[in-house]
Amino acid sequence: MRDGLPRNQALVLDMLRSDQGRALTAYELLARLGPAGMRGPQTIYRALEGLLKCGLIHRIESLNAFTACAHAHEGHGYGHHTHRPAFAVCRNCGAVRELDDPALAAVLGVVADRSGFAVQDRVIELVGACGACAAAPG
């Protein structure tokens, strides 16, 4: 069990890492990991839940898809400090990039405080065209 993770979590994590910089839906994962023995959505969703909980992957709400955390290194495993970065998502090519900006984090903290909400989770996604796709003809 790689990284000390349960088998299914390891399978899903490896698949997502092999698509670094992209996001896969649960059913795309299911299709790709069917041959490895994952037979139903439940199996995938359970693995995803575990990986989300320990911060090894992130959910992209605007795509209903999942991407490997760009900062989770080998050996962090359980107990890894979970961050919730912002993402830039390209509508054209599907590229997903983490945006870690201290100023953004700071402002979000202030906004959250002022809002009177006890913030438990953040969804910060910038959706558009990545540099390459914006420059491309068409």
Which residues of this protein are in contact with a second copy, per CB under 8 A? 61-62, 86, 88, 90-91, 97, 99, 101, 103-104, 107-108, 110-112, 114-131, 134
Indicate the residue among 31 and 106 with the shorter CB distance to DNA. 31
List Cβ neighbours of 108 (8 Å cut-off, separation of 6 or more): 122, 124
Residue 107 neighbours by CB distance under 10 Å: 11
| Smallest separation (angstroms) from a second copy to the CB of 77 | 26
CB 8 within 8 A of CB 46: yes
Indicate the residue among 50 and 55 with the shorter CB distance to DNA. 50
| Smallest separation (angstroms) from DNA to the CB of 103 | 30
Q: Given the rule CB under 7 A, which residues bind DNA?
A: 6-9, 25-28, 37-43, 45-47, 50, 64-65
CA angle in degrees (0–180, nearest 5) for 115-89-55:
65
Partner that binds at residue 74, options a second copy, DNA, none, CB closer than 5 to 8 Å by kind: none
CA–CA distance, 53 with 21 (Å, rounded to integer): 20
